[in-house]
Amino acid sequence: MHADPARLCLLDDGYRREVRTLLYESYPREPTMAWLFDAARGGYERRLRAMIRAWVRQHFYMQLPALGLLVDDRLVAVALIAPPQRRLGVADSWMWRLRMLIGAGRRSTRRFLTYQAALAASLPTQQVHVLSLLGVHPQFQGQHYAEQLLQAVHGWCVKDLDSQGVVLSTGNPHYFAFCQRMGYQEVGDLALGDFNERVFFHPNSGSAKTIIP
């Protein structure tokens, strides 16, 4: 499928609504979110939306980086990034936790925080950028925007001399081979219900031997 040219943009708070809407469309069918927010129980999408809304708001409030691809000024893909210098991130914020408790409930908030702690413990090193949320709008999937966005993320993160690479995770088997094609190495997994989420690491040039045995 022919893809329209996309423009890379470092997003500011003015894109908050568009980022939130794109992520709402991207995540409901993802196994990790379905487990974290109990898709079998009523109110699943409400709880998921509460997390995304609170996360995006806090991400921009903390002035953490967000990279997006725009096609004719429409946001089609986004990556929210936690740099190594900002390891105390969104999930550590008491304001985010309060909004989560109100919007998603105690059970989902506790499960999500446990998941975040396990993910943090699985990092190959603290000197990495972490892609906390990553999405391509469903209408634009299959047009290589995910590849373009990740390549842009890698190029952007490699400029940070304090970083040794980029980490992302997914519980969707559809993306495992894609991550490997993009140069990611599996460095861990998290047991979530009846499936495992895999943690992938993309080393900056020259960093692989210092991190991956």
Helix or strand run (H / E) with residue 168: strand 165-170
Residue 202, Cβ density class (10 Å: 0-12 exposed, 13-18 middle, ≥19 buried): buried
Which residues, 6+ apart, have CB-to-CB distance to 162 below 8 Å? 83, 84, 85, 127
More confident residue, 102 or 85: 102
What is the domain partition of the chain in residue ranges?
Answer: 7-211
User: Tens digits of per-residue pLDDT, 19-66?
Assistant: 999 999 999 999 999 999 999 999 999 999 999 999 999 999 999 999
Stated pTM of the model:
0.91
Interatomic CA distance for residues 34 and 51, integer angstroms: 13
Is CATH 3.40.630.30 correct for 7-211?
yes
Q: pLDDT for 187-212, tens place per residue? A: 999 999 999 999 999 998 754 443 43
